[in-house]
């Protein structure tokens, strides 16, 4: 599929989706959101893709937020529709069965921060800046920011960041648990791809089961979460990879995972 605002590359089971509007710091508009949604559908349908990486074109920005000029035309009904589009898209991203890594190379503000938070984890360049500055525009985050940020960094810290609209550095983001790792700008993609390759070397079914168990278990009580884990554990045995992993361990060799279900 042809896209105007994003670029997709696939190599060795790793898809890299680049937000490609560097002239305006990769700001989100409705066209980009629709393309992003279509791209996620395309990636979901491609069973050869094992990991997705999201990043931004240029050296300054992952996504600097929404394209603000469009807000001047919004009625309350239009604003609700736009927010609903973002909610559905963030849910689609978060529910993608493969791991998704955000490679944040610069500004991740507003909707950009919300996109990063909907990924499974974040690696950030040293020049990255995170924030939900919507309050400075007289509005609030609308793509799930008021819900995902407290779950990642805690309620009180999320309230401070959202109420003040302040931006934080990559290191501050790491310190509070928003980002997993801080890299130099030059090293960022190499580090992300190295981690992605480590994931693709594992069993496809088990990686998906682990993501499902963690994601579905986060919003329920511990007992229910453990029941979810039991079902996901059992699911792993639908794949020959479970037997291969045990045999490889016993034979003291590297496992040869096929990433398939039993015939």
Q: What percent of the chain has pLDDT over 90?
A: 92
- Range scoring the smallest mean pLDDT among 50-54, 69-73, 102-106: 69-73
Q: Is residue 4 pLDDT above 60, yes or no?
A: yes
96 vs 74: CA distance, rounded Å: 30
Task: Please state, in angstroms and rounded to a whole number, the distance separating the CA atoms of residues 250 and 6.
Answer: 46
Q: Which residue has the tokens 């998906």?
A: 208
How many other CB atoms are found less than 10 A from the CB of residue 164?
13
* pLDDT for 42 beyond 90: yes
Nearest to 62 by CA among 114, 97, 15, 10: 114
Choosing from 134, 172, 186, 263, which is the catalytic residue?
134
Residues 110-129 have pLDDT tens digits of 999 999 999 999 999 999 99
Question: Closest Cα to residue 135, out of 172, 102, 110?
Answer: 110
* Residue 21 CA from chain centroid, whole number: 19
Instruction: Please say whether the beta carbons of 37 and 1 come within 8 A.
Output: no
Tell me which CATH homologous superfamily contains domain 204-250.
Answer: Lyase 2-enoyl-coa Hydratase, Chain  A, domain 2 (1.10.12.10)
CATH, range 6-200: 3.90.226.10
pLDDT tens readout for residues 69-99: 888 999 999 999 999 999 999 999 999 999 9
For residue 251, is pLDDT > 90?
A: yes
Domain range annotation of the chain? 6-200, 204-250
Clarify whether 114 is annotated catalytic: yes
Give the separation between CA 81 and CA 55, rounded to whole angstroms: 26
Q: Which helix (H) or strand (E) holds 83?
A: helix 76-94
- Would residue 2 show up in a list of annotated catalytic residues for this protein? no
**Which of 31, 59, 114, 186 does the annotation list as catalytic?**
114
Q: Which residues in the chain belong to E strands, given as ranges? A: 6-11, 14-19, 51-56, 61-63, 100-104, 107-109, 121-125, 129-131, 168-169, 181-183
pLDDT tens, position by position, 15-28 = 999 999 999 999 99
What is the 8-class DSSP label of residue 144? S
The CA–CA distances, whole Å, from 28 to 189, 195, 221, 248 equal 22, 27, 36, 47
Q: What's the whole-model pTM score?
A: 0.94
Q: How far apart are CA 127 and CA 60, in angstroms?
A: 8
CA torsion, ordered 41, 44, 46, 47, to nearest 10 deg: -170
Instruction: For residues 228-257, give the mean pLDDT.
Output: 93
Q: Are 51 and 194 in contact (CB under 8 A)?
A: no
């Amino acid at each position: 599929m042809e896209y105007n605002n994003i670029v997709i590359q696939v190599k060795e089971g790793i898809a890299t989706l680049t937000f490609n509007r560097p002239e305006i710091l990769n700001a989100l508009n409705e066209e980009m959101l629709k393309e992003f949604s279509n791209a996620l559908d395309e990636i979901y349908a491609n069973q050869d893709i094992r990991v997705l990486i999201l990043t931004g074109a240029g050296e300054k920005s992952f996504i600097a937020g929404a394209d603000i000029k469009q807000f001047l035309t919004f009625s309350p009904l239009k604003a609700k529709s736009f927010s609903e589009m973002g909610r559905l898209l963030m849910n689609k991203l978060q529910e993608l069965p493969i791991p998704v890594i955000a490679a944040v190379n610069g500004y991740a503000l507003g909707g950009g921060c919300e996109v990063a938070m909907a990924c499974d984890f974040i690696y950030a360049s040293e020049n990255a800046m995170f924030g939900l500055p919507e309050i400075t525009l007289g509005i609030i985050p609308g793509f799930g920011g008021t819900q995902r940020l407290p779950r990642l960094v805690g309620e009180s810290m999320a309230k401070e960041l959202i109420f003040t609209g302040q931006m934080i550095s990559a290191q501050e983001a790491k310190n509070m648990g928003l980002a997993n790792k801080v890299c130099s700008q030059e090293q960022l993609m190499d580090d992300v791809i190295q981690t992605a390759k480590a994931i693709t070397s594992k069993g496809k079914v088990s990686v998906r089961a682990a993501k499902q168990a963690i994601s579905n278990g986060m919003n329920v009580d511990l007992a229910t979460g453990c029941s979810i884990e039991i079902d996901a554990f059992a699911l792993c045995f639908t794949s020959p990879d479970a037997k291969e992993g045990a045999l490889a361990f016993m034979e003291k060799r590297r496992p040869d995972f096929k990433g398939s279900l039993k015939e």
